[in-house]
Structure formats: C-alpha cells, structure tokens
Structure 1
Amino acid sequence: MSQFDGRTIVITGGADGISKRTAQLMAERGAAAIVIGDINADLAAQTAAEITAATSCAVTATRVDVSDPESIAALFTTAIERMGRLDVLVNGAGIMRTSTIEQSDAAAWDLTCDINLRGTFLCAREAFTLMKPRGYGRIVNVASVAARIGGIASGVEYAASKGGVVAATKSLAKLGGPFAITVNAVAPSVIRTKMTEGTAYSAAGIPLGRLGEVEDVAYAIAFLASDEAAYITGTTLDVNGGSYMN
C-alpha cells in the first residue's frame, strides 16, 4: 500500500507501544519522513533506527516532554528543519495511573492532564501553524475508552484528560475545516502494551474475546491520517473489540 507516499509525519510517544507500531505502519506505507518525539530519547533513537533500516522512510528521533511547552515548540522546529513541512501529526504521548481517588492528588491530576490533554492541544496548535498555509493536514489524537465510560482501572484524572481530548478533537476539527485540516481521535480500550502490564485487565466482557493489540489501533490511526478519510473530521473512532458500543 502507498497510503502515505511522500508524506511527512510527527508522532509523539513514538518510541514504543501504539505510536511505535503506527510509525512502522506509515513508513511501510510510503511515508517520506517521520520524526518520532518521545521523552525516552534513547529508545526513540533505537526505534527510529529500526524503522529506517526496514523501510525506505527517513525516520529520526528527538526528545520531547509534552508537559513542557518549550519542549513541544522545539520538537516542531526540529521537524521542519529535518522534513521541510508537516503533513500528519499523531498525538500519541500519554500516561496512565491506576491509583485510587484516595491515593491521587493535585500533582497527579496536573501531570496527567498536562501530558494527555494540554500536550495534545499544544502539539496540535504547533501543527496548525504549519498546516494552515499549505491548506492540508491530518491530526489524529489518541484518546481512550475511559473518555466514554469513566475508565476501567485508571484514575479519575486519566478519564478526565481523555474526555478532554475527545472534546478538543471536535473543537480543533471545526477550526481546521476551512483549511482542509482534519482532526480525529481514536479511543482504544485495553491494549496490550507496557502501560497496561501488571494490571488486572482481562478479556471478560469484550465481545471479540481478547485484549487489543497495538496493530488494532495503528491501523485505525493510519486510516484517519490518510486521504481515504478526507471527509471525516471531528470523530472519535472506538477501537475496543465491542466492549463499548456507541
């Protein structure tokens, strides 16, 4: 497939998990260049090298802390220096806590919302400044089934942050529409990643009878980021094996 022929892409949280598989998939499908931004610079560099070696895509990595506005601005400066333009942004960076409400506090709330929600907004804002003059752009935000049902084992702050991502996606889609910038989100349920290791999640109650894999979400992201989804914007695509049906 050549869904992303010549496209230039920024993916946050791309060192591992869903975002890593998304980067691999987009590279395999013809992307010209990808910049992976992740707080774990060493792992991001390793991922970039793996994808570059396996495909014809030029993948580079840079450290970004999406809770820090200056770090976000630097990510997009680096992306333009290396790629010249930006076609696609995948907001994949995020954290999840499984603390009880008694264990949670203002600091946990602020950190989770700074990374999951404010970071998504600030990255989208930077992308808008680069996409609007060209009259083209694709932004895909990673939300969660927690935004739909209030979470399964995650903390209140996580569900709230992802609910905010769903709402922000709609608002950004309205702002991007006149410039042919689509903004959508995916809402995965339990996906087998390092983030969910050691939790009590199970396939009980999932009609398809299994936990999700990173590929399940990566394929959905790739669709929304492609021109096949050119007339879809402001939507949140549920990727959950049927555990939540809208």
Structure 2
Amino acid sequence: MQRWLGRAALVTGASSGIGAAVAYQLQDHGVNVVAVARRADKIEEAVAKTKQEAKSRGRYHETKAKPGKLHAKKCDVSKEEDILALFKWIKETLGGVDILVNNAGIARDTGLTAAPTEDWKMQLDLNVLGLSICTREAVQNMRARGVDDGHIIHMSSVAGHSVTLPESAMYSATKFAVLALAEGLRKDFVEHKSNMKVTCVSPGVVKTEIWNSLPKYNTEEFRKMPGLYAEDIADTILYALGTPPHVQIHEIIIKPVGEIL
C-alpha cells in the first residue's frame, strides 16, 4: 500500500457497512478519502463505529502510516447531477482521485411479475448507471492528469453469478451487469495500452444494513446464519490494491465458511 500514500480515493456508499470499513482502512493506510453517501452527516459516525466494531472482534491493527484525510461529502449516486457536482469538487479541491471504490448499491425484495417499476428503476439507476457514471468520470480525470496506475473497484455479489432468490432477480441482474462492466473496462484499458486496473469483488452474505431492505431475510434465524463482516471485504479490497503493478486481481469471490444460500 506504500504507493498509495498521500493519494486520493473515492468511496461511495460510505455511511454504513462495507463503504465505511473501506474508508477507515484506506485512511489508516495514508490515503486521502472522499467518502460519499446520501447522508453526509452519517459518514464520520459510521466510519468510527465500523472501526470500533472491528476492534471489538480483534480485527483491527494499527498501521505505521500517517492517516490520510477523510472528506465526508453528500452525493446520491443514482443522480448524475450529484455525481458531476462531486467530481467538480474533487477536481477543484484535490485535483482528482487515483482509486475509485464503487460500493454504493441497493437491493429490493421484489419479484419479476408483480413488482413496481420504480423498485426496478431504483436498483438499475444506482447499481448499474451510477457505478458507470462514477467510473467514467474517474477514468477521464485520471487520463487528463496523466495518471496511468489508477485502480477501479466494482462491488458485485455472489448474486451476480447465480440467481438464488427469485424475489431478488432484478438485483441479481444488476450485479451480473457489474461483472460485464468490469470486463468491459479491463478491455478498454488494454485497448488504451493503460496500466490501470479494475477489480470486481463478489461477496456472499455480509452482515450489513442492506438486509434491512429485505424483510423476508431480516429475521433472527437469518442473522444466525454464517456471514462475513464489513472488514472482511475491506481487507479483500486492500489486498487487490496492494498487488504489484504487473498483477491484477480482476475478479474475486469471497464467502463465509458454511454459507448455505
């Protein structure tokens, strides 16, 4: 992680769970982090809480790096105008970003034969279009600055490899799309003879707030099932970021031992 010292990262969906864990780990490794969410006032509290929870599980280790700065910013990643305004601020304030973690995402417990169109659109706008717009803006900014070693992280899911729950088929469709977008981006970098990297992370069950939007699975029985923690996914992302320049972790699936979904 030495080469990222003093550089900048954008982490979306940073007001809870995985996004908050990635934000504190990058900051602790000396990266200046722009952490965004629809509720900017929740970000610093979430980052501190997630860090404390990792400590309580014995999963937090101090680093020797001087901590980077944390910039908590409001941005609804499902709205292009919010994304463009955010990147304008980043360019004017920090010059740009060198790491993008496309973590923001939403799931809805809706099927394909009776769901409201709005529930489908909400997932597509955030999980697919928002991710794509953030990626476009980040890559264009890097190229304009002559940055050729940037790293884009896409957050997919095991649901992007197999439709296991019929009521979440649209969510699965968005995560299948993320896999395709990661491979398309890799080929774009190859075509441009670029050394930039893209990594697609597909977690299994992670104990985060996303399950609050899926009432059928937000139960005591479900909470007793094997699951990962936010810091497990953050560790995976830092592993990918820490690889040598010639190594690209293009896709990685991470599941808890004993996962039954």
- Normalising TM by the smaller chain, what interval? 0.7 to 0.9
**Are the aligned partners of 1:187 and 1:238 in contact in 2 as well (CA < 8 Å)?**
yes
Q: Does 1:161 align with 2:174?
A: yes
Structure 1 residue identity aligned to 2:87: F
Q: Secondary structure of the residue that 1:113 maps to in structure 2?
A: helix
The aligned residue for residue 236 of structure 2 is 220
Alignment of 1:154-233 (within 5 A): 155-177=168-190, 178-197=193-212, 199=217, 200=219, 201=222, 210-228=226-244, 230-232=246-248
Unaligned runs of 5+ in 2: 51-61
Distance 1:15 1:78 in 2: 19
Return 191-200 or 105-114, whichever deviates more. Answer: 191-200
Alignment of 1:75-90 (within 5 A): 75-90=86-101
Structure 2 residue identity aligned to 1:240: K
Q: Deviation digits for residues 184-213 of structure 1, max 9, x if unmatched?
A: 110011100111246254676xxxxx2111
The aligned residue for residue 130 of structure 1 is 141
Q: 1:169 to 1:126 in 2, by over 3 A?
A: same
**Residue 102 of structure 1, CA deviation:** 4.4
The aligned residue for residue 11 of structure 2 is 11
Return 18-27 or 37-46, whichever deviates more. Answer: 37-46
**Are the aligned partners of 1:89 and 1:140 in contact in 2 as well (CA < 8 Å)?**
yes
Q: Secondary structure of the residue that 1:179 maps to in structure 2?
A: coil
Q: Deviation digits for residues 202-229 of structure 1, max 9, x if unmatched?
A: 676xxxxx21111111111112233446
Seq. identity, %: 26
The aligned residue for residue 36 of structure 2 is 37
The aligned residue for residue 98 of structure 1 is 109
Unaligned runs of 5+ in 1: 205-209
Q: 1:222 to 1:153 in 2, by over 3 A?
A: farther
Q: 1:50 to 1:238 in 2, by over 3 A?
A: closer
Distance 2:88 2:47 in 1: 18
Distance 2:72 2:123 in 1: 23
- Aligned residue pairs: how many? 235
Q: 1:174 to 1:243 in 2, by over 3 A?
A: farther
Q: Deviation digits for residues 111-146 of structure 1, max 9, x if unmatched?
A: 101100111111000011011232221000100110
**Residue 239 of structure 1, CA deviation:** 1.0
Distance 2:232 2:164 in 1: 20
Q: TM-score normalized by structure 2?
A: 0.81
Q: Secondary structure of the residue that 1:183 maps to in structure 2?
A: strand
The aligned residue for residue 121 of structure 2 is 110
The aligned residue for residue 132 of structure 2 is 121
Distance 1:232 1:18 in 2: 21
